[in-house]
Structure formats: C-alpha cells, structure tokens
Structure 1
Amino acid sequence: MSAARHDLAAAGAHLASLGLSPGSSGNVSIREDDRILITPTGADLAAIDAGNLTVLALDGTHLDGPRPSKEFPLHTAFYRRDPATRAVIHLHSRHAAALSCRPAWSERSALPPLTPYFLMRVGQTPLLPYAPPGDVQQAADLEQLPFAFRAALLQNHGPVVAGPALATAVDAAVELEETAALLLTLGTLPARVLTEEEARAMADKYGMPWSGREPVS
C-alpha cells in the first residue's frame, strides 16, 4: 500500500481530532502522478480506510474504488488550475463555515489580513457564491477565477484549501479555521488588521497569493 494512502488517512484522523470534521462531513484528496486518491462518499475522516479510497483521473473519471465524495469536482478543479497542487481538503469546520455566511472582506478574499500567520499559510481566500454541495458549475467557477489563491470559502457551506503537499494543506485548513474564529470572536469590536504594506511583505516572503482589496480585472 502506498505511503500516500497512509498519509491521507493520518491527515483525516488529525483534522477530525481537532474537531474540524463533524460527523461524516469533509473530504481529503492527494495527487499521485496523474491520479487522485480521495475519500469515498460518506467517509468519516476519523476512521479512513487507507486501502479503500476512491481513485480518480484528473478529469474526474472514476477509475477504481468506492463512489467518491460528491465534492470531488472541487478537488479536481484545484488540481487542474495549478499543477503544483498535491493535496486538497474540504471541511465543514464551524468557524470557517459561519464566516462563509457573512459578506466577503474584498472581491478576492473573504477574510482580511488579521494575522501574519494567515498570510504565511493561507493567503487570499475568495468567497464563492452559494451552490448546492457537489455543484459542478461552482467547481468550474473556482477553476476559472482569474487570480491566484490556495483556499476558498463556499458561501453558507465551508472552506476548501489546497497545497503543494498534504501537510501544507492541513496547516492551511487549521489556520483558516483559527483566523475565522478570531474574526468571529472580535465581532463588531474595533480591530487592527495588517496594513497593505505589511500584508504584501508577509505574503511575498512566504510565496502566498495576496492582492489586498484590488478589484477583479
């Protein structure tokens, strides 16, 4: 059995242990060459069977294993839009899902640059308009957004993050949830966010996408 299968199962268990995957919600995938390993539909991330994962082609064709999570189009969209992507995580984590029900901070990021760690590990995170879970058009819209990003919030739904490695994607998912929790804790209280110069400097240092409040061209 490949190391990628064991790594995916371990990542799912870790995210579930943090309380970021209630019930059978959430799905995780990892790219192996020209194939994608993804958790099956209805899988509990706390107890993923590494030997019973779904295998997809990059175009979403089902190659082997059980029926994939209905959210698989989001995963394949991330892999196609950026060849450097090696892992994708979609969660229903409480605070990020709650934040997805609020208006976006800017056209390119639902969250402001609240902490340096958000810029280091997540970067700009667009808010995608509501669509039913598994909606193919929403995934197509994500794939075609004309600016760089490694994470998105699905309106009234939750976060989806991508990374050049599974560990990077896990860190991004955790940091996105923490930033959302901080924002909700602050509520309407006055809060300082990083200045444009501070945010760009941090994002550039760590190679993360950040456009501030620039409009979509």
Structure 2
Amino acid sequence: MNHAQQLDQAKRCIIKFGLSIFQRGLTGGASANMSIALDHGFVVTPTNSCFGFLEYDDLSVLDAKGDLVSGKPASKEFLLHQCFYQQPSAMRCVLHLHSTYATAVSCLKGLNKSDAIPALTPYLRMRLGAIAMVDYHPPGSSDLVDALKQQAATYRGVLMANHGPIVAADSPEKAMYAMEELEESCKLQLLLGQQQVNYLSQQQVEYLQNAYKGKL
C-alpha cells in the first residue's frame, strides 16, 4: 500500500469509528481525539472537532515529526498520543475520550495507580491489560505529558485523574474495542459501589495476562 492509499484508508477509518463512537454516546461535543499512525506520519482529529461530524479534508495530516502537512490544526492532546507512539511497541492507533463512566472513575480517590480498575470480569484484561492512573495535570500540559509518558512504556490503557481515559492499540478496531471494554468495566465498578464483590483472584488475573499478552 502506497502513502496515498494508506492516508485515505486512515482518514476513512477515523471518520467511521468516530461516528460510531459518537452515535453510541461514548463522547459528546468536541472533547474526544483519535489518531492513526502511518509509515511516515499521522492522521489526527482536528482541534475542537466533534466525532459525529468529522470531514475528510479537515482531518489533520502530520509528518513524522508531528508538524502539520494538510488539514486543520491537530488536537492539542496529540502530545498525549505521542507518548505511546514513541515507545518500542508498534502502536498504530490512540484514542482518548471523556466517556462518562471512565471519567467518573478517574475522579475517585484511592485508586491503585498501577491497577486502577479491579478485575471484575476477564474481558478488560484480555483486551487491554491492567489500567494505570496518573495524577491530575492541566489538559495538554507538559506535566501531563511527562506523567503519561512514564506509564505508556508499560501500559496500553491509562486513566488521567479528573480527565478521562486514553488507550493505544496496534489497530483502530482494537483501540475502539479496548476503550469500550474499559468504559463498561468502569460502569460495573460504579454500579457495584460498596457491595461485596467477587473479584478475580491474583492467580486468575495472572493467567489472563500470560494467555493474552501477545494478543493485546
């Protein structure tokens, strides 16, 4: 696939998945952002854009350094996406939402920063692994980028305190499915509240991590 074909495919993919995410109520307004890595650059949702109304020619095309080549200016939160793309792992898509339940959980006190979402079902571990947590910093700030960069080396899913979730995957499909599973896991956590919960055991969690590590 040449660059033009790769670029066209990435743009159409962002529009398709963005609309699906918007229509199912996982994002509203202009709060979300998504990017896809190309062989020699990136396609990114523009700043102040709504996933329900993305336009092909408006999508931000960046070179490998992150400089704008065509389209509207990229979301300022692309700096967060770069934390994952700069890692040795071959991440091809990063998705950041302000989805209701994951953002609500990000506002809770006392979360385990290395395992913020307890293992209620197998599926979050199967699709995304453990979820890290970083302290609150202003959106787009260098402090937030530095905090996220430390976790992106190990985790593919992170909750940013009082802000929301960000996930990375080796394809747009996997990124969307992982974000959906994270949102549903956070919904379960909030629904269960103070109930006595039968969490997966450490042994069960370790089995999932070993069995699905290469498939994430």
TM above 0.5: yes
Q: Is the 8 A contact 1:54 1:68 kept in 2?
A: yes
Report the equivalent of 2:205. Answer: 199
Letter in 1 for 2:81: H
Question: Out of 2, 7, 12, which is 1:6 matched to?
Answer: 12
Question: Out of 91, 96, 109, which is 1:85 matched to?
Answer: 91
Q: Is the 8 A contact 1:58 1:80 kept in 2?
A: no
Letter in 2 for 1:182: L
Change (3 A) 1:104 1:67: farther
Question: Out of 138, 142, 156, which is 1:132 matched to?
Answer: 138
C-alpha distance in 2, partners of 1:24/1:14?
15
- Shift in Å at residue 144 of structure 1? 2.5
Matched, 1:29 2:35: yes
Report the equivalent of 2:105. Answer: 99
Report the equivalent of 1:171. Answer: 177
3-state SS of paired residue (1:145): helix
3-state SS of paired residue (1:51): helix
Report the equivalent of 1:111. Answer: 117
Please, which moves more after superposition, 23-32 or 88-97? 23-32
User: Number of residues paired by the alignment?
Assistant: 210
Report the equivalent of 2:161. Answer: 155
C-alpha distance in 2, partners of 1:60/1:109?
31
- Shift in Å at residue 134 of structure 1? 1.1
Structure 2: gaps spanning 5 or more residues: 1-6
C-alpha distance in 1, partners of 2:173/2:152?
26
Task: Give percent identity, aligned residues only.
Answer: 34
Letter in 1 for 2:195: L
C-alpha distance in 1, partners of 2:110/2:156?
16
Report the equivalent of 1:213. Answer: none
Matched, 1:67 2:76: no
Letter in 2 for 1:194: L
Q: Which has the higher helix share?
A: 2
Q: Is the 8 A contact 1:127 1:153 kept in 2?
A: yes
Letter in 1 for 2:155: F
Structure 1: gaps spanning 5 or more residues: 210-217
